[in-house]
Chains A and B, each alone.
Chain A
Amino acid sequence: MADETLDAKGLNCPLPILKAKKALSPMENGKTLEILATDPGSVKDFEAFCRTTGNKMVEHDESGGIYRFVIERVA
């Protein structure tokens, strides 16, 4: 269970990333953010986001057209 959830369903590039960043910023290191998105491009984008910023992708899956990512705040 993630510490916080961000509903980014229906939003297109780059809004899921921008909103995720905004949600992660005030969180403490080690806390997790769950993101729900419908943008298929967000799969590659969240991987790239994590590699570049140093935050950690803990889980990601897809069901019924909804992509779910759990990111642990590291940096």
Chain B
Amino acid sequence: MNAEARLMQPYQSGPAPKKANKCLAGSAMGRIAVAEADLPNGKSMTIIVTKGTLDWAYPPFILATTAAAMDVNVTMFFTFYGLGLLKKDLDLTVNPLGNTAMEMPMMGGHMKMPNIVGMLPGMTGLATSMMKDMIKKKGVASIEDLREAAQFSDVRLIACQMTMDLFEYKNEDMLDGVEYAGAATYMENALTSDINLYI
């Protein structure tokens, strides 16, 4: 057996796909159950999304959409500041304040912003528009696009009900198709999942 065949083997002749969620009910969940049964490699991943700034929104959505494209069954659980990423209208921002590793390409070099500058009024807007400009120029997907791709590929989006109450978010402000649940729902998924990430 050559190296390539060995790499393929676990995916082609592994055990039958595990069911990530044993209490599937209702139409939205039924759709997920069907999608899951179709996945050839039967792997699953969960991501806890805790941060909602423009920069931190990327890792969870990139991994979720890519995993789904690789036939992985994905569940994302949005809690605390990550919950804002499920709002219908996104207004994501970034500020280098407190992030001394952040440097922006500028005039052939890189510029770091001292904290004292980052705290000035208007700096969040400036840093955000610089970042969005770079995202566009470099062919990087917008968070809106990645989120749409996640929904399109049946990634399960769960909003933390406790955070909804805590920060007084309304269900009508959130994306259609989002589920509302808590830690036990996450745990049930995580326990049968191959990969569990906290971002």
Contact = CB atoms under 8 A, between A and B. Distances in A.
B69 A54 contact: no
Given A11-B139, A12-B141, A18-B149, A54 B8 contact: yes
Q: Which of A11, A15, A51 has the most CB of B within 10 A?
A: A15
Contact of B4 (A18, A48, A51): A51
B62 interface: yes
Given A51-B7, A53-B41, A54-B40, A13 B71 contact: no
Interface string A29-73: 000000000010000000011011110000000000000000000
Contacts of B7: 51
Contact of B138 (A12, A17, A51, A52): A12
27 contacts: A10-B139, A11-B139, A11-B141, A12-B138, A12-B139, A14-B62, A14-B141, A15-B139, A15-B140, A18-B65, A18-B66, A18-B69, A18-B141, A18-B149, A20-B69, A21-B69, A21-B153, A39-B139, A49-B69, A49-B70, A51-B7, A52-B11, A52-B41, A52-B70, A53-B70, A53-B71, A75-B71
Contacts of B12: 54
Interface string B80-97: 000000000000000000
Nearest to B69: A21
A12 B11 CA distance: 27
Interface residues of B, number: 19
Given A14-B62, A14-B141, A49-B70, 15 more contacts: A12-B139, A15-B141, A17-B66, A18-B65, A18-B66, A18-B69, A20-B69, A21-B153, A49-B69, A51-B8, A53-B11, A53-B40, A54-B8, A54-B40, A54-B41
Contacts of B138: 12
Interface size of A as a range: 10 to 19
A14 B69 CA distance: 10
